[in-house]
Structure 1
Amino acid sequence: MSTATLTAPAPSRRPATRPRGLVWSVLRLHRTALWVWLAFVVATAGFLLWLTGPAAHDAQHQLETYGYAGVLEAASSSATLFSFTSGAYNDLFYDPDNLITLGGFAVALFAAGPLIGRELENGTAQLAWTQSVSPARWLAAKLAVPACFLVLGNGLLTALYHHLWSAHSNLLVAGITPRALYFSLGPATVAAPLLGLALGALIGLTVRRTLPALALSGFVYFLVYAFRGNHWPFQGRYTQPVPTSNSWAIDTTGAKVPDPDCYLDRGCLASHHIARFAREYLPSPDYWPRQLLETGVLLTLTALTITAAFTVVRHRAA
């Protein structure tokens, strides 16, 4: 009588891709974008340090020599090369905010296009899903790696910006603009690009074509940015000027004088010998409640968007 030998099937020799391997793959594939982001952070940080040091020293000298009209003069002969508007220290002070905002738009475009949309359009993502990488793990790595660099980079820039504000906000022209900047800097500055990353990923997964995803993500993030700046519970409600009765100016002798209401008129400022404006409404005790509220809303929207993105990727892979 013969006996049959039962042989168990040999285990697959294909190694499973580890999470660390996924992270390295994302870093290698998007190394150009990583270097661009690092260069952006270093350049903006250097700009902030320059504003805190040499530029502020020059502006303070102008203030002491020519009165408040001096801060409307160029901070240095080469300052106009770095400014979106003029070389005046008052204008240079807001340029890092413009750079950080543009960085948020770039993140949304990158997530929708090169990060997600291009791989779906080229079939690279689908190939990875048929190997040892599940769609959920693939998307998790795609989002986690840039999110870490976003938090670290924007966290550093926000900290430097707060230091600049604490040290030299007295050199700014009074009015609505410094109040708006004050309420826009904080944890929400770090959370907003994360929402852009999540929105870009969701749009890339939905559209699956690079150029249309780029255009749509830019438009959607613009709507988010406009809503943040003009509606409660974000910054718009807190950028209104304080009542005139609570605002006054201080002349070169240190005496309080009526506010001449000519913040950008050099001749008017010089004729009234204005040294600075009172800014007792800043810092505000409402800063942290407002910042935490906005940050919470942005992070909640980010979590909901990421959940929707994982739902879409599971559906695409099914």
Structure 2
Amino acid sequence: MTVAVGTTAPVARRGVRPRGLTWTVLRVHRPALLVWCAYVLLMTGWMLWVQYVSGARVRAEMAACRRVEGGCIDVMTFSHSMNEGWIGTLIAYASYGIAAWAGASLIGRELERGTAQLAWAQSVSPTRWLTVKLAVPAVALTVGTTVLVLVYRWFWTASQDLRAGEWHDPDPFLNRGPAVLAYALCALAVGALAGIALRRSLPALAVAFGLILWFHLYVDRHWHELWPARALSGTGGSSFPSQHPASHFWPLHLMTTGVILTVAVVATGAAYWLLRRRTR
């Protein structure tokens, strides 16, 4: 009988990739993650193009118009304003899509098809299942939205000679700080709550989309009430409606962020409470 000397059993090398439930969530929702990454890259590239390509053309045309006696019709500035408006809107209202996806695909479909119950039967508690389901997209949303906020703040400042909007317009007010991230996380929580409550993908999609739409529009109408305004008086004792100076941006923005995050925390707590109640 011969004995092999100096041989050892091969040792499996463990990679750094996530394992267990986290890896499962990443694999199942990989298309959504790829769409989100593509969206962030597209919006970033669009802002760079508007600033360095389209913006350069607008500035050249404006300079040419100033040299023409009587001026000329500046069409390019209108085009720049449209691009700026669409960029701001798409960033500000991305939470609608996040809420719909979270309600329909992330939670609702899992409960409707029974894959969540299968995971719970394999020693994964419902609480841990929901935690991973929320944590993984929350990280992706935080990273991507932070990039968009930073690029948009630069874009807004660099385009100040061309932009038509003001700091207190809904989209610029929201996109230049953490409030837009708070909306993304709130939409994730609202979608999860709708999915757990309804356990059906399409109804959860509709309810989550409707709730975040209503909440977004409500905050857009009332955020200026979250900080005391300055009453401006004119000559002859006349007075103007209360006004917010530009220095009120951060107080108003942070108060708005706090309101949105409060709703996100309440929705998250309600989702955990409802899940525990239904899985006892």
TM-score (structure 1 length as normaliser): 0.71
Distance 2:126 2:264 in 1: 19
Q: CA 1:164 to 1:65, structure 2 compared with 1: closer, same or farther past 3 Å?
A: same
CA positional deviation for 1:180: 3.6
Residue 74 of structure 1 is aligned with which of 63, 66, 76?
76
Structure 1 residue runs of 5 or longer lacking an equivalent are 1-18, 76-86, 246-280
Distance 2:47 2:206 in 1: 31
State the shift of 1:297 in Å. Answer: 1.2
1:117 aligns with 108
**Change beyond 3 A, Cα 1:228–1:222:** same
Shift of 1:178: 6.7
Tell me by how many angstroms 1:182 deviates: 3.3
The answer for the alignment partner of 1:311 in structure 2 is 273
Task: Provide the C-alpha distance between the structure 2 equivalents of 1:152 and 1:302, rounded to a whole number of angstroms.
Answer: 18
Counterpart in the other structure of 2:261: 299
Residue by residue over 1:195-249, the C-alpha shift from the partner in whole angstroms, topping out at 9 and shown as x without a partner, is 01100000000000111111111111110111121113579x99xxx9999xxxx
Please tell me whether the aligned partners of residues 112 and 210 of structure 1 are also in contact (alpha carbons under 8 angstroms). Answer: yes
Shift of 1:173: 2.8
Corresponding residue of 2:173: 183
Amino acid at match of 1:73: V
**How many residues get paired?**
249
| Deviation (angstroms), 1:74 | 3.3
Tell me which residue corresponds to 1:92. Answer: 83
Query: Do 1:71 and 1:171's aligned partners in 2 also have CA atoms closer than 8 Å?
Result: no
Query: Runs ≥4 in structure 1, deviation > 4 angstroms?
Result: 69-72, 242-245
Greater Cα offset, 216-225 or 94-103: 94-103
Read off the aligned partner of 1:74 and give its amino acid letter.
M
Q: Percent identity?
A: 37
Equivalents in 1 of 2:110, 2:225: separation in Å? 35
Structure 2: distance between partners of 1:244 and 1:41: 46
Unaligned runs of 5+ in 2: 1-17, 236-242
> 1:117–1:209: 8 Å Cα contact kept in structure 2?
yes
Tell me if 1:288 matches 2:250: yes
What is the 5 A alignment of 1:262-273?
A: none
Q: CA RMSD in A?
A: 2.9
Alignment of 1:160-239 (within 5 A): 160-173=151-164, 179-185=169-175, 186-233=177-224
CA 1:125–1:20: 2 relative to 1, 3 Å:
same
CA spacing shift, 1:244–1:210, aligned 2, 3 Å: farther
Could you tell me how far 1:71 is from its partner in structure 2? 9.1
TM-score normalised by the chain length of structure 2: 0.81
In 2 relative to 1, CA 297–70 (structure 1 residues): closer, same or farther, beyond 3 Å?
Answer: farther
Contact conserved, 1:117 with 1:205, CA < 8 A, in 2? yes
Taking structure 1 as reference, are residues 57 and 71 closer, same or farther at Cα in structure 2, changes over 3 Å only?
Answer: farther
Say if 1:234 and 1:294, in contact at 8 Å, map to a contact too: no
